[in-house]
Amino acid sequence: MPFDIGSLLEQRPFFSFEFFLPRPPETLDPLFDRVREIAPLNPAYVTLTYRAAAGEQDKNAAAAARIQEELGIPAASHVTGAAHTRAEIADFLDRLERRGVTNLIALRGDLPANQAAAAAERDFPHALDLVRFIKERGGFRIGVAGYPETHPEAVSPDDDLRHLLAKVRGGGSWVTTQLFFDNASYFGFVGRARKAGIGVPVVPGIMPVTNHAQLKRFASLCGVRLPRALVEKIEAFKDSPEDLAAFGIDYATRQCRELLDGGAPGIHFYTLNRTRATTEILARLRNS
């Protein structure tokens, strides 16, 4: 399987990066410039998100293939099921496979605002349905999402963990977590996951704090808890972007070091298509 990231998941530690497709009318060139910047860091792989809009799947497949072919970096395409039919997902998988993209991140995703269909009316009401569909088709290695602080729509932490176990048993090869800022959340989550029978790598997802308003928005959307010490610092630095960025790099570096020392297999960076912070963090980790 070309560019199969399975063996890379066995290396310790490994580092991966998430990027998103630029919005129209931008070309894909700015995205490749950002990925090219992190290429010297020897990332294990990059992941590519896309919006549920016309033409986005085509752009995702083209971008992932180009990253692999031109930069030699394995790419894992996000595949979201909520806004798509089985036929549409099957067509997307065919296009990915033809281009040599065989690593996926399978997510439920969100419905566009103009497609407010009930969950029961969708072909893929849950990520598990999508994972099973891809696994039955064959030909792909599948990553799934985990939520250290519980999915906002979950009935309970235990119920959320049962869903994750089902996704892994359904075909998930590794878990990437939602972002978090308190490492106790990750270690507690991994401990509960292991007891539940989840044995695949659980990769912590880290987003460096570089923007005050953006952090608050992400925390609200994702249901992420912000430690009091973190909130106090970002409030103190909110009018000084340079000081906030420097603090964010320091905080994320300490967070990553503790995670790796505590047994995390690697780090997945949510870059927001910016590479300065993650480049600095990774340099510090590798030199410490």
Active-site residue set: 18
Coil/strand/helix, residue 219 = helix
- What is the DSSP track for 62-125? HHHHHIIIII---EEEEEE-TT--HHHHHHHHHHHHHTT--EEEEE-----TT----GGGSS-S
Helix, strand and coil in the chain, % to nearest 5 = 50, 15, 35
CB atoms within 10 A of CB 86: 13
Q: Which residues pair with 17 in a beta bridge?
A: 46, 269
Q: Which of 54, 208, 157, 178 is nearest to 108 (CA)?
A: 178
50 touches 57 (CB < 8 A) = yes
CA gap 286, 288 in Å, rounded: 6
Distances (CA, A) of 211 to 149, 226, 254: 22, 14, 18
Q: Which of 220, 204, 231 is nearest to 148 (CA)?
A: 204
